[in-house]
Amino acid sequence: MDKLQQEYRRVGKLHLEAERHFFARVVLPSSVVRVFVPGTRPKLLRALVRTDIDPLRSVRSQEQYRLYFEDQLHRLARVINNSNKGNSRVYPGHKWGHSTKILCLFLRDMILHSHYFSDNVVDRLSYYLYTPLDNVVIRRLRKLGYATPFRSIKEIDSSGKFYGVQNALGEAAWSIGVPRVWFDDNWGQRV
């Protein structure tokens, strides 16, 4: 019994880090990483696990979240760039398309689906989260009459394209009092 208790003490100290590892693996299934060259997934896993999410506790505005998000985005985009130079399945949208999708998924899950943050912090941060943009979401936006300036993730090659869609989603969501990230629920419904 003593060894079991010791093991629980050990894993208890590492529990929040274990959640980060878990969600890093969850957001990188084959459907997300299939466009990358072999060997990219382990590098992305390491980068996500190293993402310092503790500063999010003090984020109190969309602008503070954007600054945090872009700082983490630059790190993730470097990983993809270093492993995928010349990969036509990823470029030119390696940063504002593929990297944002992965980071949005990771932050969504760490904030909304883990026990890393208190309920008050989750409630506040949920309204700052960006919607992960992928081909399912892009098709849904177009079906609803919103003509995105891109038809695929790899065509999201600038901050203007990324934030243009995020701002439109944000305005619509805020006008009815829900988080913008909820638009990603379309992914599960595939309507």
Collapse the DSSP code of 146 into the 3-class scheme (helix H, G, I; strand E, B; otherwise coil) and give the result.
coil
Q: What is the pTM of this model?
A: 0.92
Phi, psi of 157 (to 5 degrees): -115, 15
Between 98 and 86, where is the model more confident?
Answer: 98
Q: Cα–Cα distance between 164 and 95 in angstroms, integer? A: 15
In the block, tokens 């504002």 appear at 96
* pLDDT tens string 37-87: 999 999 999 999 999 999 999 999 999 999 999 999 999 999 999 999 999
Position 190 scores a pLDDT of 54
Range of the structural domain that residue 121 is part of:
2-189
Q: How many domains does the chain have?
A: 1
